[in-house]
Chain A
Amino acid sequence: MRELADGSTLLYIDRHLVHEVTSPQAFEGLRLSGRKIRRPELTFSTMDHNVPTTEDRMDIKDPVSRAQVEALSQNCEDYGVTLFKIGDRRQGIVHMIGPELGLTLPGMTIVCGDSHTSTHGAFGALAFGIGTSEVEHVLVTQTLNQRKPRTYKVEFTGTPGPRIFSKDFVLKLIGTIGTAGGTGHVFEYCGEAVSALSMEARMSICNMSIEAGARAGMIAPDETTYAYIAAENRPYAPKGDQLDRAIAYWKTLPSDDDAAYDRTLTIDTSRIAPQVTWGNNPGMVIDIDQPIPEPDSLAGYSRADVENALAYMGLAPGTFLTDVPVDVVFIGSCTNARIEDLRLVAEILKGRKKADHVQLLIVPGSQQVREQAEAEGLPEIFKAAGGEWRYAGCSMCLGMNPDQLRPQQRCASTSNRNFEGRQGKGGRTHLVSPQMAAAAAVAGKFFDIRKWPET
């Protein structure tokens, strides 16, 4: 919108998404300064991090969680912000409902006080996470002061093997460049393996851009994008002539074929094996058939880093994860709780039972996904397999609600962060694709999904 004297840019924000955790202090700032929200009609809010996912979810028993959720209701009411609260069929994880409702569109600038805002980049939007001070800044000015990031082209070539998913693509990327490899950059994901993906699968990749250090990751809009936006039940998406005009504009957005990038990386997806993290950051990842690394053997990490990670995870070098039992399987989060993910899980669980010692949680990312799954008969498959079918929320991804790991419990999780304590203090998280998670529930330990019997 305007270049400033210090070389930064004042960037206009087209969509501001708000949730209960990172907004209360920003609203408090408005109250203290007497300022108003400049464009409440561009601001949308939901409750996700604190909400319980069980039948009795409307009654939040933790008083601190309840106070935070109530504060959001009050703030949205006082300042005229649209809120999808618990009980609303449009409620869900903020990064699920933006695309679902047609709020997320190509070419937009989208921000949210949440690092996984990068998810929305799957539509060719510039979308990134911000802190609470910036939330307040956007509420008041509808702008953000930003420095132009460097550009990083990540090309996924080739055709992936059976049961290799976009989650494996992005874990492979993070393992290759490390959790700071993309810091200061915005990724653009491209290549035939990305073009072939659904919007749901593209969102899983963009979602984890931040785990490689990049605040944003984008994919150029194409026919797959337009078809997703034109689908029914996207109340905020343009329709009819407006959509036609929008698509004509969106077609001008993709990068030129000869565009120059600050950095480039090519990953051949035909060589990607099922990925599983073994350590305490998403870059500590191996192929399912590789052993846990030796402390001295890992490029980019000190011996102390690896030893700390192994001690926390309760793992010894040389171990194969296919020999390691899991206690909990979590299918959910803004990374992998879309309808396509649940269908993939159902394909594995159909007619099978989870191992007796495993707790299996299946948490749809939004109430709309929950409804869709019910219409397709998926919950019956999950329940017959011994799984718990829940209501929408962040759930066990970050343990701000009752869904948490106990100390030393080991979890195969479709979420995005295996940080220490993330899913519950002392909990041991292994990030995997939805089918790898489902297979671990049945096998009772990690399983190489490429060997899953075809039925």
Chain B
Amino acid sequence: MESFSTHTGIVATLNRSNVDTDQIIPKQFLKSIQRTGYGPNAFFDWRYTDDGKPNTDFELNDPRFAGRSILATRNNFGCGSSREHAVWALVQDGYRVIIAPWKEVNGERVPGFADIFRSNATKNGLLTVELSEEEIEQIFSAVASNLGQVATVDLPSQKITFQEPNALVFGFDIDKGSKERLLEGLDDIALTLQYEEDITRFETSYDPYIPVES
């Protein structure tokens, strides 16, 4: 798995909430049996016009976002389909970090990312960062006012630092397991196989109604 420690790059913004994985990588690209080749098709329906040219109305096609690698967006990013192709597409399109806000609804905290997307992202070295809605507003303002705004995302210290003139610093939370896996780029399967004896012991001690075709 790809590791993640520190990354510095240009920040782009996508002012949409509930961006679903059907938007991130549309259905026709899921027919591929490869793990690569998805990058140019990220956000395909928004990104290109019907004749295949870049859609100038789409925010991420703004020339000042050229070379961006950090995406700040709105709540519930990556909802819907479990397709890991969405994460492959973002990574192959150059994104290393996605930032989305959690929000409070009726006193409850609604996460910034959908569960399956976040799990898939971690397995591909794509860092998902949750900030508050106020902090995301600050990022949107900073990016709007400063062409090619650059930020550094530091996973060991769990901090995002925006460079001058918008010198902003945000701390973020991440669970211990995901942080370790990202920092070390560990192979999840190899990690689990360390417990193979436990798995075998469990299998031999347990009656799971194994299918017996009648």
**A125-138 near B? 1/0 per residue, CB < 8 Å:** 00001111110110
With A and B bound together, what is the CA distance between A434 and B34 in angstroms?
Answer: 37
A31-68 with Cβ < 8 A to chain B: 33, 35, 38-39, 41-42, 49-50, 62, 64-65, 67-68
Tell me which residues across on chain A come within 8 A of B75, comparing CB atoms: 180
Q: Which of A4, A242, A421 contacts B23 (CB 8 A)?
A: A421
A115 touches B80 (CB 8 A): yes
Tell me which residues across on chain A come within 8 A of B116, comparing CB atoms: 115, 129-131, 215
Nearest residue (CB) in B for A177 is B105
Tell me which residues across on chain B come within 8 A of A42, comparing CB atoms: 210-211
**A175-206 near B? 1/0 per residue, CB < 8 Å:** 00111110110000000000000000000000
Q: What is the distance, in angstroms, from A421's C-beta to the closest C-beta of chain B?
A: 5
Q: What is the distance, in angstroms, from A171's C-beta to the closest C-beta of chain B?
A: 16
Q: Which of A6, A302, A417 contacts B22 (CB 8 A)?
A: A417
Q: Which of A115, A147, A178, A398 contacts B105 (CB 8 A)?
A: A178
Chain A interface residues toward B at CB < 8 A: 1-2, 4, 6-8, 10, 12, 14, 21-22, 24-25, 28, 33, 35, 38-39, 41-42, 49-50, 62, 64-65, 67-68, 71, 102-103, 105, 108, 113-115, 129-134, 136-137, 140-143, 145, 147, 177-181, 183-184, 210-211, 213, 215, 235-236, 238-239, 242, 246, 263, 281, 283, 300-302, 304-305, 308, 398-400, 417, 419-422, 425
Given contacts A114-B82, A141-B193, A236-B212, 7 further A-B contacts (CB under 8 A): A67-B31, A115-B116, A131-B83, A141-B192, A211-B80, A235-B213, A242-B209
A181 touches B177 (CB 8 A): no
B176 touches A6 (CB 8 A): yes
Segment of B5-13, B119-127, B155-163 engaged in the interface with chain A:
B119-127
Judge if B154 is at the interface, Cβ distance under 8 Å.
no
23 CB-based A-B contacts, threshold 8 Å: A10-B195, A22-B84, A25-B35, A38-B199, A68-B32, A102-B211, A113-B84, A114-B81, A114-B82, A129-B82, A131-B119, A133-B84, A140-B192, A141-B192, A145-B177, A178-B110, A180-B76, A181-B105, A210-B80, A238-B212, A281-B18, A417-B22, A419-B80
A105 touches B115 (CB 8 A): no
B71-88 with Cβ < 8 A to chain A: 74-76, 79-85, 87
Judge if B167 is at the interface, Cβ distance under 8 Å.
no
With A and B bound together, what is the CA distance between A50 and B32 in angstroms?
Answer: 11
B114 touches A183 (CB 8 A): yes
Q: Which of B17, B22, B32, B119 contacts A421 (CB 8 A)?
A: B22
With A and B bound together, what is the CA distance between A105 and B210 in angstroms?
Answer: 10
Tell me which residues across on chain A come within 8 A of B119, comparing CB atoms: 130-131, 134
Q: Which of A14, A22, A147, A281 contacts B175 (CB 8 A)?
A: A147
Of B15, B80, B87, B188, chain A has the most CB atoms within 10 Å of the CB of B80
Tell me which residues across on chain A come within 8 A of B196, comparing CB atoms: 141
Nearest residue (CB) in A for B46 is A420
Knowing A28-B33, A134-B123, say if A145 contacts B188 (CB, 8 Å): yes
Tell me which residues across on chain B come within 8 A of A143, comparing CB atoms: 192, 195, 199
Nearest residue (CB) in B for A308 is B16
Tell me which residues across on chain A come within 8 A of B16, comparing CB atoms: 304-305, 308
With A and B bound together, what is the CA distance between A25 and B30 in angstroms?
Answer: 11
B115 touches A213 (CB 8 A): yes
With A and B bound together, what is the CA distance between A68 and B29 in angstroms?
Answer: 12
A425 touches B208 (CB 8 A): no
B195 touches A302 (CB 8 A): no
Nearest residue (CB) in B for A422 is B22
Knowing A147-B175, A213-B114, A235-B214, say if A67 contacts B79 (CB, 8 Å): no
Knowing A10-B195, A22-B82, A420-B22, say if A137 contacts B188 (CB, 8 Å): yes
* The 9 nearest A-B residue pairs measured at CB: A6-B177, A24-B33, A131-B84, A131-B120, A180-B76, A129-B82, A236-B211, A133-B123, A115-B82
Judge if B51 is at the interface, Cβ distance under 8 Å.
no
B84 touches A132 (CB 8 A): yes
Nearest residue (CB) in B for A424 is B27
B181-214 with Cβ < 8 A to chain A: 188-189, 191-193, 195-196, 198-199, 202-203, 206, 208-214
A180 touches B18 (CB 8 A): yes
Tell me which residues across on chain A come within 8 A of B208, comparing CB atoms: 12, 14, 108
Tell me which residues across on chain A come within 8 A of B23, comparing CB atoms: 419-421
Nearest residue (CB) in B for A211 is B80
Knowing A132-B84, A133-B84, A400-B31, say if A304 contacts B15 (CB, 8 Å): yes
B214 touches A239 (CB 8 A): yes
Q: Which of B28, B30, B111 contacts A180 (CB 8 A)?
A: B111
A6 touches B15 (CB 8 A): no
A131 touches B110 (CB 8 A): no
Judge if B20 is at the interface, Cβ distance under 8 Å.
yes
Judge if B45 is at the interface, Cβ distance under 8 Å.
yes
Tell me which residues across on chain B come within 8 A of A7, comparing CB atoms: 175-177
Nearest residue (CB) in B for A71 is B33
Q: Which of B74, B76, B123, B211 contacts A179 (CB 8 A)?
A: B76
Judge if B134 is at the interface, Cβ distance under 8 Å.
no
Judge if B180 is at the interface, Cβ distance under 8 Å.
yes
Knowing A235-B214, A400-B31, A422-B27, say if A141 contacts B82 (CB, 8 Å): no
B110 touches A181 (CB 8 A): yes
Q: What is the distance, in angstroms, from A82's C-beta to the closest C-beta of chain B?
A: 9
Q: Which of A24, A132, A136, A147 contacts B189 (CB 8 A)?
A: A136
B123 touches A213 (CB 8 A): no
A25 touches B34 (CB 8 A): yes
Tell me which residues across on chain A come within 8 A of B198, comparing CB atoms: 1-2, 10
